[in-house]
Structure 1
Amino acid sequence: MTRIDDPAYSWPLLTLDDDALEHNLATVAAAVAAAGAEHAPHVKTAMSRDLFARQLAAGAWGGTVATPAQLRTLVRWGLPRERDGVRALLANELVDPRELAWLREVLDAGAAAEVWLYVDSARGVELLARAFAGASAATTARLGVLVELGVPGGRTGVRGVEAAVALGRAVHDAGLRLVGVAGYEGPVAAGTSEAELAAVGAWCAGLREAAAGVAGLVEGPVVLSAGGSAFADVVLRELVAPAGAATRVVLRSGAYVTHDHGHYARTDPWTRLGAAPLRPAITVWGQVLSVPEPGLVVCGVGRRDVSYDIDLPTPLAVRPVGEDGRLGTPRELAGARVTALNDQHAYLAVTEDQGIEPGDVVAFGVSHPCTTLDRWRTAVVTRGDAVVAHYPLDLREDLA
């Protein structure tokens, strides 16, 4: 049995707890299904073919990506939800003629079952219409266009319902297949207070209004797509039932698959829906390099290994290392905290009686999984200390 403390591995090391992954996959799949929605999880969280395959097996409609390079990778993976091929949602505008030409080739060849993408400007519609001019009915049916509704002062997306409806009409008039409306509610609120959740609900009401405004331009149910990983509960409550039977709600939450010990632990929307709490799956292990003064431990984990854009890592436990290199029994690090990071060092403030020595190994939890996983090329999947799999993390398509 291979273990994380075998000679093949060295510190720092990123591991994913397999039991936590399975729990999170099953919990969220059940919650989305119970709400009457569909799920296209954002795979940028890990860009892992193996994790995406497990999400599809749990019932996901397809996968969401943020960039053209990620879309190319998703198509390259070739993982179908069913026999008809991959389904992908590009939660952004595609305005590069080179990428549009590539997408036309992909859909002409039937290399993807469906690709949905956003528009938020007349120029975006013009570029898309030009790229797909003269396309066959089969190709046109594989391309879905969503009008993006934004937030004043936020990032992309039209500003207001009236503009969204007008742009939807332009999509339809250009001969493109309009499937609905979409957006990202994250810029509306920074936390989960009652007032902030109400603000997210108000934004969802605007998305419903935009969907009603374009309904006559869409064949079949109108798609409403939203849902970062912090406000999925509000999105499901506000979009599914009030929108009615003639709509499809497609949630895009992706960080749930690994969860974390910081940002998503605080904002976890699934428990607000009544689901079981998600479990943090990510651990980054780092060895104690020095205990240079009382109360200070320096570990070999840094900004190149863990996220720090929202919170610094959370020290979870310390484990002694035997003469044979094997890890000993973990001890909780009560009161310990990371105070700073260098590229390859973490400054750990501890009480003086922790008994930590150079060579010990510290387990760290993270806050914001996306910006931890994008620092690694492989995740080691574990049950306890046993290694059960290696998941490559494809950050972008291989250009070689």
Structure 2
Amino acid sequence: MPILTLDAGAFDANTTAMMNYVRGVGARIAPHAKTPMSPALAAKLVAAGADGLTVADGRQAAVMLAAGFRKLLLANEIGGEAAGRRLGELLRRYPDCEISVFVDSPAAVCAAAAAALAAERTLACLIEVGTGRAGARSRDAARTVIDAVADSKGLALGGVATYEGAAVTADAAETLLRVDDLCRLAGEVLGDVRARNPGQQLVLSAGGSAFFDRVIAVLGPVCAADGACTLLLRSGAIFFHDHGIYARALAAMDERGGFSPGASASASFTPSLRVFAEVLSRPEADLAICGLGMRDISFDQGLPLPVGLYRGGRSLSLPQNSRLVRLNDQHAFVALSPGSDVAVGDILAFGLSHPCTALDRWSHIFVLDDAGAVRRVLPTFFG
């Protein structure tokens, strides 16, 4: 202890729910592999219908290429020309791979051209528009990037991309306005790319795990009107879900009626990840200290949530009002009602507040069956 576990049944059910949703709205999905960096879980998603995988950098691409995946979306700028050459040298070892990269400036286009030259192949580029993070900030800026790609040897205009999650503000209503505005900008830039590539199959990519409903609502009609464009989501965390940021996001999606007609997003997905930790000390009547800390679990989107109590392999009722109030490097401070039946040696299970910043703390994921028994141990490949 502590250990990170994945409920296999919950993961499979989440996969089914998301794949059914994507098919129902006429889109495709290339799940972001950065969340678990697990080729075994990536293979399950591809087998379930994913249209390739998304990666964030050359390291992640190298892992997935070595694992046998051949269709990747590198959802990020490469860096400078030296980084482009390194990526190109990697791609040259996998001549059968299909990969697209993001570009948001003439400098990024130069890096992509360096990658294409080193790879000795044509490289597809998606024009990234954005706010709050990377991405061309206006249609005019995007047109400059389009021109640079069109004028560069070894590059091809593959479509447009954005990340609507970067539009989030503290105000929910303002956030939705910004998300929709960003999606509309992506749709306009797609028209500019289409003008340079009549008849060619293009990709319009967006969609994290919080606002994919707005991506579908705004960009679905754009792709349908184009007639030769694939709307490609990149959601990754949704397959794991959580007790924090995505629990709140799906509740908000339900409030705006954004999920499938007659279906609740919150009810369609189940948190699949838990961290189990042993109670080390009961120094006060209303306090339990567990062997779990900031080195083991995410806390950037709120503290973990106690969700289960076990003693001698048996599940006990979790005392009401139990809550984690503080984390040190190796200790978790759990507030209890006085008299709560929690003893040294008991095991507490904690739900995550953010899967993406918890999985990367672990070299292995323990996969549980419906009875809570460990059936597989999957390595992760971060860094």
Please confirm whether the aligned pair reaches a TM-score higher than 0.5, indicating the same fold: yes
Distance 1:61 1:348, change over 3 A: same
Q: Name the counterpart of 1:5.
A: none
Q: Name the counterpart of 1:264.
A: 246
Q: 1:342 pairs with 323, 328, 332, which one?
A: 328
Instruction: Report if the CA contact (8 A) 1:339-1:348 is conserved.
Output: yes
Q: Name the counterpart of 1:167.
A: 145
Q: 1:207 pairs with 178, 183, 186, which one?
A: 186
Q: CA deviation at 1:222?
A: 2.7
Q: CA deviation at 1:102?
A: 3.8
Instruction: Report if the CA contact (8 A) 1:75-1:111 is conserved.
Output: no
Whole-angstrom distance in 2 between the partners of 1:109 and 1:12? 39
Q: Name the counterpart of 1:50.
A: 40
Q: CA deviation at 1:100?
A: 2.5
Instruction: Report if the CA contact (8 A) 1:106-1:112 is conserved.
Output: no
**Correspondence 1:69 to 2:51:** no
* Counterpart residue type for residue 245 of structure 2: H
Instruction: Report if the CA contact (8 A) 2:352-2:358 is conserved.
Output: yes
Whole-angstrom distance in 2 between the partners of 1:131 and 1:378? 33
1:241-320 aligned within 5 A: 241-243=221-223, 244=225, 245-268=227-250, 272-274=258-260, 275=263, 276-320=267-311
Distance 1:112 1:392, change over 3 A: farther
Distance 1:284 1:22, change over 3 A: same
* Aligned partner of residue 288 in structure 1, secondary structure: strand
Distance 1:270 1:21, change over 3 A: farther
Point out the more displaced range, 377-386 or 213-222: 213-222
Q: 1:132 pairs with 113, 116, 119, which one?
A: 116
Distance 1:113 1:270, change over 3 A: farther
**Correspondence 1:393 to 2:380:** yes
Q: CA deviation at 1:288?
A: 0.5
Question: Which deviations, in whole Å up to 9, do the C-alpha atoms of 1:146-171 show, x marking residues without a partner?
Answer: 111011xx121111111112211210
* Counterpart residue type for residue 338 of structure 1: L
1:99-118 aligned within 5 A: 99-118=83-102
Question: Which deviations, in whole Å up to 9, do the C-alpha atoms of 1:268-324 show, x marking residues without a partner?
Answer: 277531255200000100110111012111011111111011110000121123xxx
Distance 1:168 1:354, change over 3 A: same
Q: CA deviation at 1:110?
A: 4.1
1:20-99 aligned within 5 A: 20-79=10-69, 86-99=70-83
* Aligned partner of residue 300 in structure 2, secondary structure: coil
- For normalisation by structure 2, the TM-score amounts to 0.91
Q: CA deviation at 1:67?
A: 1.8
Whole-angstrom distance in 1 between the partners of 2:115 and 2:311? 60
Distance 1:167 1:382, change over 3 A: same
Instruction: Report if the CA contact (8 A) 1:162-1:210 is conserved.
Output: no
Point out the more displaced range, 31-40 or 89-98: 89-98
Q: Output the aligned Cα RMSD.
A: 1.9
Q: CA deviation at 1:328?
A: 1.5
Q: Name the counterpart of 1:238.
A: 218
Point out the more displaced range, 195-204 or 346-355: 195-204
Whole-angstrom distance in 1 between the partners of 2:341 and 2:102? 55
Q: Which runs of 5+ in 2 are unaligned?
A: none
Instruction: Report if the CA contact (8 A) 1:180-1:223 is conserved.
Output: yes
* Counterpart residue type for residue 388 of structure 1: R
* Aligned partner of residue 326 in structure 2, secondary structure: strand
Q: 2:165 pairs with 174, 178, 186, which one?
A: 186
Instruction: Report if the CA contact (8 A) 2:319-2:341 is conserved.
Output: no
Q: 2:3 pairs with 13, 30, 41, which one?
A: 13
Instruction: Report if the CA contact (8 A) 2:106-2:144 is conserved.
Output: no
- For normalisation by structure 1, the TM-score amounts to 0.87
Q: Which runs of 5+ in 1 are unaligned?
A: 1-10, 80-85, 322-326
Q: Name the counterpart of 1:3.
A: none
Question: Which deviations, in whole Å up to 9, do the C-alpha atoms of 1:345-370 show, x marking residues without a partner?
Answer: 00001111321111111010011101
Q: CA deviation at 1:112?
A: 4.3
Q: Name the counterpart of 1:8.
A: none
Question: Which deviations, in whole Å up to 9, do the C-alpha atoms of 1:162-218 show, x marking residues without a partner?
Answer: 111221121011131110111111121246834432331121111101111111223
* Counterpart residue type for residue 368 of structure 1: H
**Correspondence 1:380 to 2:366:** yes
Q: 1:147 pairs with 127, 145, 152, which one?
A: 127
Distance 1:177 1:252, change over 3 A: same
Question: Which deviations, in whole Å up to 9, do the C-alpha atoms of 1:245-287 show, x marking residues without a partner?
Answer: 2321110010011110111011027753125520000010011
Question: Which deviations, in whole Å up to 9, do the C-alpha atoms of 1:117-156 show, x marking residues without a partner?
Answer: 11111112123224434976xx21xx210111011xx121
* Aligned partner of residue 175 in structure 2, secondary structure: helix
* Counterpart residue type for residue 382 of structure 1: L
Instruction: Report if the CA contact (8 A) 1:191-1:267 is conserved.
Output: no
Instruction: Report if the CA contact (8 A) 1:169-1:217 is conserved.
Output: no
* Counterpart residue type for residue 374 of structure 2: V
- The share of aligned pairs that are identical, in percent, is 39
Whole-angstrom distance in 2 between the partners of 1:302 and 1:234? 36
Whole-angstrom distance in 2 between the partners of 1:270 and 1:59? 24
Distance 1:346 1:135, change over 3 A: closer
Point out the more displaced range, 342-351 or 312-321: 312-321
**Correspondence 1:371 to 2:357:** yes
